[in-house]
Chains A and B, each alone.
Chain A
Amino acid sequence: KQEVTQIPAALSVPEGENLVLNCSFTDSAIYNLQWFRQDPGKGLTSLLLIQSSQREQTSGRLNASLDKSSGRSTLYIAASQPGDSATYLCAVSGGGNQFYFGTGTSLTVIP
């Protein structure tokens, strides 16, 4: 069974810093990996999707990388802003189209 781990569980940084969030998974047979943000009391919003054949995806200040062979993905956030404060979740989908989520990293960006 696929297991997804996100480290650290919580992160606090001053505004303007660049930061990296980590996601690791145990089974490299995946269709894709997605990064989401979740604001308190709200649903999940998709940030980036990386197909299994891709190495990275970029959207604005966000860059996600995927190393399938080592079972790792990183989400890089450049020039962090207080509005980036949220919980960030990664999810992998594999055979049978099941999705497995990490428990998330809670990010606080201090003004």
Chain B
Amino acid sequence: GDSVTQMEGPVTLSEEAFLTINCTYTATGYPSLFWYVQYPGEGLQLLLKATKADDKGSNKGFEATYRKETTSFHLEKGSVQVSDSAVYFCALSDHPGGTSYGKLTFGQGTILTVHP
């Protein structure tokens, strides 16, 4: 079945540091890829997405590029802020015919803490 693997957390950074959170996937179909963010005590919010190979999703200074050849969708930000402290989830959803069609399959989440 489909699966998503994220780098182990927690990740602790100083403000203005560069962030990378690795994400790789296995899928039976040709999925869309997502990054969701969960701030403390809240539900998940879509951060960015990419629906086909070589697409780059971007939002709020975060970026991720859909790499089909390496089955990866790594999240990056050039300069993190304290307000970026949250749990980040990589996820996929298949097109029709795929195992994850109609649902999100999540990675295990990566806790990010940014210190002033």
Q: Do chains A and B stick together as partners? A: no
Q: Which residue numbers of A lie inside 8 Å of B, CB to CB? A: none
Q: Which residue numbers of B lie inside 8 Å of A, CB to CB? A: none
